Amino acid sequence: MRRIVITGMGAICALGHDAPSVWKAMTEGRSGIGPIHHIQPGQLRNGGIAAEVVDYDPANFFDEARRALLDTFSEYALIAANEAIRQSGIRFEGELGQRTAVVIGTGVGGETTRDDLYERLYGEHQGRFHPLGIVRMMMNAPASQVSMVHGITGPSFVVASACASSNHAFAQAAMMIRTGLVDAAVVGGTEACITLGTLRAWEAMRVLAPDTCRPFSQGRRGLVLGEGAAMYVIETLESARQRGAEIICELVGTGMSSDAGDIAAPSDIGAAAAMNMALRDGGLSPGDVDYVNAHGTGTVANDSTETKAIHRVFGAHARELAISSTKPMHGHALGAGGALELIAAIGAIHDGIVPPTLNYLGPDPACDLDYVPNEAREMKVNAAISNSFAFGGLNAVVAVRRAP
Amino acid sequence: MPRHLAAKEFRKADMSNVQQETFDIIAKQAKIDIETIKPESTLKDLGIASLDAIEVIFDIEEHFNINLPNEDTDFDNGTVSQLVDAIERQLAQKSTEG
């Protein structure tokens, strides 16, 4: 079977505008959660907090002609993809352009554009829509933009499975490389969901925390939304070695499952199935795993269910695992979540630092494992998994290992 | 259309109506006989979990035209009578503000 390695990584989120800044913030345990800037105060019940991208001006990244085509979720995807491609040194010339895929996970798509257009239509009763509305808001826009900017002519598409979108995207890209359909992929996830419409809809589900995000902790009150993107260049081990590229780590396996149960309530059986499949797919035994980047949303239901699932999969080894949720730092970035969180798993392997679970107040009896509370930990990590579990019962897990 | 209880019509004497109307909403959403709802039942006891519970709260908010804070909607431990108290508090507040 063809082995797959990661040779480029890019990111933008509340923690910074490139992957090294994001990773540095994770090791420092810095939180990007704060009052929402781009929604007028008083329009949200809980006052409104999120992990927003700050000090961001698209003009610093794109010329005017390109910007006209871009919703924020495509901007984030392009910024992260450009960084990843630059780092990997890969060039999509000739046949490699055809033998490269672009697969991007996104949950809600071009919400900023949609909100603005509907504000005009329903709020201001203005009939005239901007002609570029569709090409900005369509779900596939980020994949199309990355393919266009970089001349990638292989299969390009977007994967949508809410909060598991990124991890489903990794799984699709890995399968295409393994079967020989392509030799490389630009893959990850993007989301720009901090709009009034999205926030109000989440608020109505009563899962948004009024205070902050404190996964696995006593007194946790819900999730805090975030936004951003993370993108990667993945390719065969053979092609990376031929190019003399620096290998960041190996993507060894992916696992996917569906709860086929409740539309919102999570299932430990479904989550465990995805983790087991990722381990099996990656040829890892539970004892090989040192770090779990948890889905860890900070809701009562997710964190206790995920803990149960980890017990199911890892047995006695569950107590040996370092488990953390980085969502108190970058927020719950929905379709970009898995991609942003893979930075934590990769960084842990690469630099020997496990990012902490911030805002931890103390143990909850239903969450009885080692969540690396509040402070980063130096430890050797050879293999890690990253969990994403979506509303709708769709689960996807990615397993990574130290570079061969 | 929800039948809104106008704030100025709201008085102490209507308290039992609030309970009655709340029980009606819960019974309808949970598709259970209204007689099975006791003031000390939790929504969980009544078999109303997850999104169904959130829908019950939404229906109550729409019906009475109030906002119920998350603190007043503990589906696992909060009883129906506590929920009715919370609704009455919101209605009373609306009545003074009105």
Q: Do A265 and B73 touch (CB under 8 A)?
A: no
pLDDT at B30: 85
Per annotation, catalytic residue among A13, A17, A150, A163: A163
Question: CA A196 to CA B52: how far, in whole Å?
Answer: 24
Burial group, residue A94, by CB count within 10 angstroms (0-12, 13-18, 19+): exposed
B4-32 average pLDDT score: 73
Digit-coded pLDDT (tens) for A102-128: 999 999 999 999 999 999 999 999 878
Quote the tokens at residue A140. 């596939």
Q: Which residue of A has its CA nearest to B54?
A: A205
Please report, to the nearest 10 degrees, the dihedral formed by the alpha carbons of residues B47, B49, B54, B55 taken in order.
Answer: -50
pLDDT at A137: 97
Digit-coded pLDDT (tens) for A381-403: 999 999 999 999 999 999 999 99
A163-178 average pLDDT score: 98
Measured from the Cβ of residue A315, the count of other Cβ atoms closer than 10 Å reads 11
Q: State the pLDDT confidence band at A135, using cuts at 50, 70 and 90.
A: very high
A-to-B residue pairs, Cβ atoms closer than 8 angstroms: 22
Q: Do B50 and A204 touch (CB under 8 A)?
A: no
* A104 touches A159 (CB < 8 A): yes
* A323 touches A352 (CB < 8 A): no
Query: Which of A206, A207, A259 to probe by mutation at the B interface, max B CB count within 10 Å?
Result: A206
pLDDT at B98: 59
Amino acid at B68: L
Q: Which residues of B touch A210 (CB under 8 A)?
A: 70
Q: Which residues of A touch B57 (CB under 8 A)?
A: 206
List the 55-74 stretch of B: residues with Cβ below 8 A of A.
57-58, 67, 69-70, 73
Residues 6+ apart with CB under 8 A from B6: none
Q: Which residue of B has its CA nearest to A301?
A: B50
Digit-coded pLDDT (tens) for A240-284: 999 999 999 999 999 999 999 999 999 999 999 999 999 999 999
Per annotation, catalytic residue among A295, A330, A350, A367: A295
Question: CA A224 to CA A83: how far, in whole Å?
Answer: 27
A356-364 average pLDDT score: 98
- Where is pLDDT greater, at A143 or A48? A143
Digit-coded pLDDT (tens) for A220-240: 999 999 999 999 999 999 999
Q: Which residues of A touch B69 (CB under 8 A)?
A: 45
Percentage of chain A surpassing pLDDT 90? 95
Amino acid at A241: R
Q: State the pLDDT confidence band at B5, using cuts at 50, 70 and 90.
A: very low
Measured from the Cβ of residue B55, the count of other Cβ atoms closer than 10 Å reads 14
- Measure in Å the smallest separation between the Cα of B67 and chain A Cα atoms: 9
* A104 touches A173 (CB < 8 A): no
Total-model pTM: 0.93
